[in-house]
Amino acid sequence: GQQLNQSPQSMFIQEGEDVSMNCTSSSIFNTWLWYKQDPGEGPVLLIALYKAGELTSNGRLTAQFGITRKDSFLNISASIPSDVGIYFCAGPFEGSQGNLIFGKGTKLSVKP
């Protein structure tokens, strides 16, 4: 079945450092989404990508839709303590309109 593999599983970084994480799919996607989950909260959408090769920014966050349509990347520049949380990639669940399949997440810790 469909699988999304996210890496790394966790990251411990110093405030001010840049962060990169990625997600690969076992199947081709026509949409990639990146969500962030703060501790004790529900996921919040950060960036949605709809076209292969697309590069989209949201403040210090930049996400790319891979050319192969089987991967996506999220970069965070100049990290700050409030970047702490779990970052999930997600894509369309096969054969089911509107439903999402999620990666297992990348847990980010930022040391001030």
- Could you list the residues that contact another protein (CB under 8 A)? 4, 31, 33, 40-45, 48, 50, 88, 90, 92-93, 96-105
Nearer to another protein, 66 or 105 (CB): 105
The alpha carbons of the chain give a radius of gyration, in whole angstroms, of 13
Question: Residue with structure tokens 């930049």?
Answer: 62
CB of 103 to another protein, least distance (A): 5
Cβ proximity of 5 and 23 under 8 Å: yes
Cβ proximity of 59 and 83 under 8 Å: no
- Gap between the Cα atoms of 99 and 110, Å rounded: 32
CB of 89 to another protein, least distance (A): 9
Nearer to another protein, 5 or 16 (CB): 5
Nearer to another protein, 77 or 86 (CB): 86
- Gap between the Cα atoms of 38 and 46, Å rounded: 12
State phi, psi for 16 to the nearest 5 degrees: 100, -20
